[in-house]
Structure 1
Amino acid sequence: MASLLSSYRLGDLALPNRVVMAPMSRVRAAAGGLATPSMARYYAQRATAGLIVSEGVQPSLLGQSNPGTPGLHTDDQVASWRPVTDAVHANGGRIFAQIMHGGRVSHPDTTGMRPVGPSAVAAVGEVFTPTGPQPVPLPRALETAEVPEQIRSYAQAARRAVDAGFDGVELHGANGYLISQFLSANANLRTDRYGGSVTNRIRFAVEAVAATVEAVGAARTGIRLSPGGPFWGIEETDVAEHYTALLGELSRLDLAYVHLEATADEETLLGLRRVWPGTLVMNPVLPLGPKQTGRAEADHWLGLGADLISFGRAFIANPDLVERLRTGLPIAPADESTYFQGGDDGYLTYPAYQHAQ
């Protein structure tokens, strides 16, 4: 079994360990979706990870889900990200941008536009807006002729990400956002080539990934998936069949990696590991569930065939997480009240482990 602290070759990148910092929204961007100096410090503090995947970055204003999130669809946004990627690289790290189109999980108070989705079916829950949480509104169903524009937005954002100094991109195909909505049985009620059969429901994901590969190369392209995940009211049927078909199509593209969340039972996930021939990043515990990923969960999945392990919440309060994992030091808890409050408190204020004198 590979060791969590052993090196790994990911495309052109030499990772010093198999620890991945998972994407986590921290809503610290400036007006206009600009990255900030504090964001540069935040990611640079965590550059000992084998790979950092950034918070979700919208590929267009229409694709923005929450206020306070950064973008990659204007020249100013690209320029604002360069100090972030420079800081990570100066500290010896590697960073991919997660490209996240919120689809129906958005609000006109945030973007000035009615959200779009595969069908006119509202998500379940409340979405953050500039004036606080509000019920998710009914989206407008994308016309067939409009779908290619949303597909291209991922590729266009990927080009901008590379221009901004990112080492690659991860398409957010999980957690109830736009790609996940197309994969869903209850959010996608379309009768055109993007809905109905499994082949049609995976088409949007495959075409978005293929466009991104064409734009920046396969070695710079990954995707995150949450098989069977119930986020935002998403329902998926025939999960094993569905994701086997999707990974079969994606395997033709020679991607940098597939990033799976533990949203299905272990037997299903192991079946998908057997289907996927390339690098597998595994998030071993349910996102936002009661348990955080630790060394035991990481080692368990490395033993089951994962190549890299992603850690989410543990990275918030532990900028030195890799060293803590290496030496068996305790993992500090994060203050959940500071997750989305903005500012540097609970963002840049977590120290490295303090050894007793």
Structure 2
Amino acid sequence: MDETLLRSLTPGVLAILVRRGADFAAAEDAVQDALVEALRAWQADPPRDPKGWLVTVAWRKFLDAARAETARRRREDVVEAEVPSGPAATVDDTLQLYFLCAHPSLTPSSAVALTLRAVGGLTTRQIAQAYLVPEATMAQRISRAKRTVSGVRFDQPGDVATVLRVLYLVFNEGYSGDVDLAAEAIRLTRQLAAAIDHPEVAGLLALMLLHHARRATRTEPGGRLVPLAGQDRSRWDTTLIAEGVEILQAALARDRLGEFQAQAAIAALHADAPDAAETDWVQIVEWYDELARLTGSPVVRLNRAVAVGEADGPRAGLAALAELDDTLPRYAAVAAYLHERDGDLATAAKLYAEAAKKASSLAEVDHLTRQAARLNTRRP
């Protein structure tokens, strides 16, 4: 049984049922029932038209459930007149499904969970494992999300920016359990890029590929973080880098710059440098200026301060940092790095220790604590 094929067909099947008029929650339940039946039936007799088989079975499951409702006959009369005979329609409604799962009425966590379930085809158990929460908790989250979007019309234009934010949230979760969310986010973004011609979709795909190319070097075998400057660049995936750069260049050529294209341009400059010392920090600062203009994000300006410190010296970086709110996440870590580069080891060690107390992950706490300890042992 090809589980990858089933997962790739799931969003299209679900979209067809919803397009025919099925309530989203009921349609999703019917598709899941059809997938279970496919796992059992296809082993001995795989169908010639897998998608058509799933549509037929899922629709039958939906009608069986709908017969208990008072509107059964009206639904059947309307839909039977519209259902084409033969293989499933070739029109791909997956794009609308992306928009539905990223509906603005959903919280970011609910939108992510629903996208992974409905578009990604993951089971509730897999999603729960990936997010390190009990399966019952994730089931409730998905159920609430399905109820929220059940009344949403399927023919309304969607917000591409919201969809991209949801996919980027998935990518940044990395991997856990038996689901690699970074790889899953790339797969879904490739699917989206095939369905919609939009430079920011291409920009996000390029950004993911460029970041993913460095994945093997970001941590040591024991899980210890390795900063960008210390990573073994010979182990970066040059195939992914080349693909990401090519996609980015095509997107930038359209002259419709967006935040994901700007982020990808920064990642491409890092990927292009043979070593940390040869990084084109001046151009990276220029891209951060563009990104700050596009987003107004203080986090972008925080990262820009690091780049300024590399391009124009640590004191210039500290001056840029002084313009920001010192309660920003990672502010203390950035300040520590810049003070260390400026030779003030005592202040840097104190700031690293302070940053470790505020870190959001054990790996980051470990890294910052080690940085503080390293400087304390170097001081006279």
Q: TM-score, normalised by structure 1?
A: 0.30
- Larger RCO (alpha carbons 8 Å, 6+ apart): 1
More strand by share: 1
More helix by share: 2
